[in-house]
Structure 1
Amino acid sequence: MNVTFATSSHEVGGPSRRAGAATSAPIVVGDGSWIGAGAVILPGVNIGAGAIIAAGAVVAKDVKAHSLYAGVPARKIRSLSTAEVPAV
């Protein structure tokens, strides 16, 4: 819910116009990942398989597989188990 995938940005311009030339980069989300409400994913980020992004996190760098990331900017909180959990 309310997740932002920002695939474009701009370079820093000179003093008369700080918004310089436009840039873009794809975002890749691995299988089985979970992205919490209100998270923002910035251009060029790769989210590894099975990762969790906490609600409200701002992800500016790649996320390792099977890891929990949270915060602004997002940082790794802990590794997650790769064992399958039985369905309820």
Structure 2
Amino acid sequence: MLGPRVNISSENHPVEIASRKTMVPAEVIIKRNVWVGAIATILPRVTIGENSVVAAGAVVTKDVPSNCFVAGVPAKVIKKIGQ
């Protein structure tokens, strides 16, 4: 489930000034049964594991393990979700 105004970014650009006219595509993987709260941002090269929850307004810069709740900027694991 995705909340309103979720941003899933699959493109980035090089940091070098001479290369900034190009875009570099990268994969974003969202596995089964994931909830993403309103206005969250998921950046390129990130995988969100099964059954995880991303809090509203979070900015996900790194992979999220399965069965976790993440929040913050940048997003951090707040707690594991029990099965």
- TM-score, normalised to structure 2, is 0.89
- Alignment match, 1:57: 58
| Partner SS, residue 12 of structure 2 | strand
Match of 1:11 among 8, 11, 14: 14
Report the secondary structure of 1:11's partner residue: coil
Question: Any stretches of 5+ residues in structure 1 without a counterpart?
Answer: 83-88
Query: Structure 2, unaligned stretches of length 5 or more?
Result: none
Which string of whole-angstrom CA distances, capped at 9 and with x for unpartnered residues, describes residues 15-64 of structure 1?
A: xx583642111111111110000000000100000000000000010000
Alignment length (residue pairs): 80
Please say if residues 13 and 20 of structure 1, whose CA atoms lie closer than 8 Å, have aligned partners that are also in contact: no
CA RMSD of aligned residues (A): 1.4
Compute the TM-score of the two structures, normalised by the length of structure 1. 0.84
The CA deviation at 1:74 is: 0.4
Structure index of larger Rg: 1
Verify the 8 A CA contact 1:69 1:76 in the aligned structure 2.
Answer: yes
C-alpha distance in 2 between matches for 1:69 and 1:18: 33
SS at match of 1:2: coil
